[in-house]
Structure 1
Amino acid sequence: MNDEQKKAMQYLKTAKGQIDGIIKMLDEGRYCIDISNQIIAAQSILKRANMLILKQHLNHCVKDAFLHDTGEEKVDEIIDILGKLMESR
């Protein structure tokens, strides 16, 4: 596991803890705005984890594919992911 993956794993574990906390907040009937703020925080950390995974993909998988003349399909994958990220805004 490389550095980007380790950091992404750390972010994902943090997000998991946040989501568990959000579920507990719902069970306890906590204030809706507080719950919403925690959801936004979890989304933010998931985005950071995703960016690290994509950085790792570009630095390793895509770079490797171009060295072996198969980079075009990797570019298409990145374009598809960027489209999904733009739709989710």
Structure 2
Amino acid sequence: MNNEKLNAVKALKTSKGQIEGIIKMIEEGRYCIDVSNQIIAAQSLLKKANMLILKQHLNHCVKDAFMHDNGDKKVDEIIDLLGRLMGK
């Protein structure tokens, strides 16, 4: 597993712990703004993990596909993904 994937797993595990904490906060009736701030922090970690995975994909999978004259499909996948990220 390369560095990007290792760091993505680390961020995902951290966000998992945060989400479990958020659930507990809600169950305990904690202040809504505090809960919301924790949700934002967890979302940030998920975005970070996604960027690391995408970086790894571009640096390895897409690069390899272009070296083997199969890059167009990978570009289409990235474009579709970017559309979903942008909400289109």
Q: TM > 0.5 between the two?
A: yes
RMSD between aligned residues: 1.0
Identity %: 75
Cα distance in 2 for residues equivalent to 1:80 and 1:40: 25
What residue number does 2:65 align with? Answer: 65
TM-score by length of 1: 0.96
What residue number does 2:16 align with? Answer: 16
Show structure 2 runs of 5+ residues with no match. none
Report the count of equivalent residues: 88
User: Structure 1 runs of 4+ off > 6 angstroms?
Assistant: none
Cα distance in 2 for residues equivalent to 1:35 and 1:84: 26
Task: Give 1:18's aligned amino acid.
Answer: Q
What residue number does 2:30 align with? Answer: 30
Q: CA deviation at 1:36?
A: 0.6
Show structure 1 runs of 5+ residues with no match. none
